[in-house]
């Protein structure tokens, strides 16, 4: 793979050379070659001024992919927003960022008074007529929302070099090749989902685009018929895969699967490592943050079982270390905040257009907010978020640890609270007494500091992550 991090080179500037290769297969049977994809992509870009800010409401469909590719090739800045975003929230984003153009599906065409310029499938590119009252960082390429587990409206500023560096690293450690076929299982507005699109297109591979859920039978029919070689998922997806008895599935073309987007229960990770080994399929657990474009660490497939529960080692070109409360490196064996250094570390986060031109705030160094440690083999473990620990009557409690304790016993529950008041939420009324017994028997948490609350359902965002702010 050529050096995508070289100055002036974008991820998609070289796609013309893949010409007749299949770029996209859709769930309704359509096939687009790279030539056809680029015709759509460049047609969209031709209607937009260089360095314009364009908001794309994304679905896992060729038109959204084409708009993203074309606008990146043209040097524009793309703001990716999931199609399930409410109309009120979408209007608020348009007011806050004042994009010059919007690329919307027909069901959202009335969200803003705009002048239609170009149509692709069910999407229309329109000029908003909003005069920009802001400037943007010269390297800015993509605005991507944070994962949303806290309800934050922040967007991460990703540069061309951030995207190129992370794409190159992922391609290298996963060994992505032109004959790979990746099916979409997550929104392209989510950094993990977008990274799958970036890496496979950059290598001339094929995307199988669908909005179907893994819980729908047609998804698996499509996966087999399209000869899919890889897919990815967050922990919630892997919980669903276990319920679907992944270990019994006949998936002859599958080469490897990936997991990221949160900590997967250690026992479940070990089960998937063994199941995949029996199938001759690679299982690669990974760790990342949108602020690092997508990826920070990975567990090589050959270590999947032995190192289940860890986040692995730094991706190629990156470095991980642990910081104490003073921001300095901790001594060996001491837990600390996970710090990542690499060319994929973003420029910083923004809430509106007025910060788009700010300089690089991170300078290649990201304090992740996760507390972790390093084992004797150099593999890192995450113990939880700095903000996900409580003191309950003097005992330090990791909320993620309690969730994992219950998950290992087949109980889906999530935790929140404040010091001296741990709250455990579950949608399973029949599990309340079991939760109380499990926590009592397996922790030192005083029963007086625990409240168990039944809710209708556990709130999750479009990527499957828990929305703790909605509890």
Q: What is the pLDDT of residues 325-335, one digit of tens each?
A: 888 999 877 89
Topology given in CATH for the domain delimited by 388-470? GMP Synthetase; Chain A, domain 3 (3.30.300)
pTM: 0.86
CATH number of 15-374: 3.40.50.12780
Give the pLDDT score at 147.
54
CA distance 40 to 56: 15
Chain region(s) in the chain for CATH 3.30.300.30: 388-470
CA distance 239 to 51: 42
Give the pLDDT score at 8.
40
Give the pLDDT score at 268.
96
Report whether 425 contacts 413 (CB < 8 A): yes
Give the pLDDT score at 394.
66
- Give residues with Cβ within 8 angstroms of 278, minimum separation 6: 247
Taking only the tens place, the pLDDT of each residue in 294-348 is 999 999 999 999 999 999 999 999 999 999 988 899 987 789 999 999 999 999 9
> What 3 state SS string does the chain have?
CCCCCCCCCCCCCCHHHHCCCEEEEECCCCEEEHHHHHHHHHHHHCCCCCCCEEEEEECCCHHHHHHHHHHHHCCCEEEEEECCCCHHHHHHHHHHHCCCEEEEEHHHHHHCCCEEEEEECCEEEEECCCCCCCCCCCCEEEEEECCCCCCCCCEEEEEHHHHHHHHHHHHHHHCCCCCCEEECCCCCCCHHHHHHHHHHHHCCCEEEECCCCCCCHHHHHHHHHCCCCEEEECHHHHHHHHHCCHHHCCCCCCCEEEECCCCCCHHHHHHHHHHHHHHCCEEEEEECCHHHCCCCEECCHHHCCCCCCCCEEECCCCEEEEECCCCCECCCCCCEEEEEECCCCCCEEECCHHHCCCCCCCCCEEEEEEEEEECCCCCEEEEEECCCEEEECCEEEEHHHHHHHHHCCCCCEEEEEECCEEEEEECCHHHHHHHHHHHHHHCCCCHHHEEEEECCCCCECCCCCECHHHC
Give the pLDDT score at 155.
96
Give the pLDDT score at 85.
87
- Give residues with Cβ within 8 angstroms of 352, minimum separation 6: 96, 97
Chain region(s) in the chain for CATH 3.40.50.12780: 15-374
For the chain, residues with pLDDT lower than 70 are 1-9, 147-152, 394-395
């Amino acid at each position: 793979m050529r050096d995508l991090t070289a100055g002036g080179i974008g991820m998609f500037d070289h796609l013309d050379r893949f010409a007749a290769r299949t770029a996209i297969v859709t769930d309704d049977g359509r096939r687009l070659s790279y030539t056809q994809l680029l015709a759509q992509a460049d047609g969209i870009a031709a209607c937009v001024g260089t360095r314009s800010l364009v908001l794309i409401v994304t679905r896992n469909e060729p038109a959204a992919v084409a708009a993203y590719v074309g606008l990146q090739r043209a040097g524009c800045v793309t703001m990716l927003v999931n199609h399930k975003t409410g109309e009120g929230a979408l209007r608020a984003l348009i007011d806050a960022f004042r994009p010059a153009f919007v690329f919307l599906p027909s069901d959202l065409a009335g969200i803003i008074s705009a002048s239609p310029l170009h149509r692709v499938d069910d999407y229309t590119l329109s000029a908003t007529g909003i005069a920009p009252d802001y400037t943007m960082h010269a390297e800015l390429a993509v605005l991507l929302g944070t994962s949303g587990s806290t309800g934050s409206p922040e967007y991460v500023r990703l540069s061309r070099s951030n995207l190129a560096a992370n794409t190159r690293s992922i391609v290298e450690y996963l060994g992505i090749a032109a004959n790979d076929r990746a099916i979409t299982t997550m929104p392209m507005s989510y950094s993990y989902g977008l990274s799958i699109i970036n890496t496979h297109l950059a290598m001339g591979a094929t995307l199988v685009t669908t909005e179907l859920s893994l819980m729908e039978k047609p998804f698996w029919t499509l996966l087999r018929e399209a000869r899919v070689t890889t897919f990815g998922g967050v922990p919630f997806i892997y919980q669903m895969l276990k319920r679907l008895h992944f270990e019994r599935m006949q998936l002859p073309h599958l080469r490897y699967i990936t997991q990221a987007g949160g900590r997967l229960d250690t026992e479940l990770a070990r089960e998937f490592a063994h199941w995949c080994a029996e199938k001759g399929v690679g299982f690669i657990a990974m760790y990342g943050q949108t602020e690092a474009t997508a990826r920070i660490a990975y567990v090589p497939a050959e270590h999947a079982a032995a190192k289940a529960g860890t986040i692995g080692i730094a991706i190629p070109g990156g470095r991980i270390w642990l910081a104490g409360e003073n921001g300095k490196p901790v001594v060996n064996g001491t837990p600390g905040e996970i710090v990542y250094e690499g060319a994929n570390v973003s420029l910083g986060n923004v809430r509106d257009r007025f910060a788009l031109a700010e300089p690089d705030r991170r300078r290649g160094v990201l304090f992740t907010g996760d507390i972790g440690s390093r084992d004797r083999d150099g593999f890192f473990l995450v113990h939880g978020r700095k903000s996900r620990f409580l003191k309950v009557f003097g005992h330090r409690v990791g909320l993620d640890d309690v969730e994992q304790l219950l998950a290992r016993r087949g109980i889906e529950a999530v935790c929140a609270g404040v010091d001296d008041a741990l709250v455990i939420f579950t949608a399973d009324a029949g599990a309340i007494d079991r939760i109380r017994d499990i926590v009592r028997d397996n922790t030192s948490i005083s029963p007086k500091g625990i409240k168990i609350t039944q809710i209708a359902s556990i709130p999750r965002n479009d990527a499957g992550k828990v929305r703790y702010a909605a509890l």
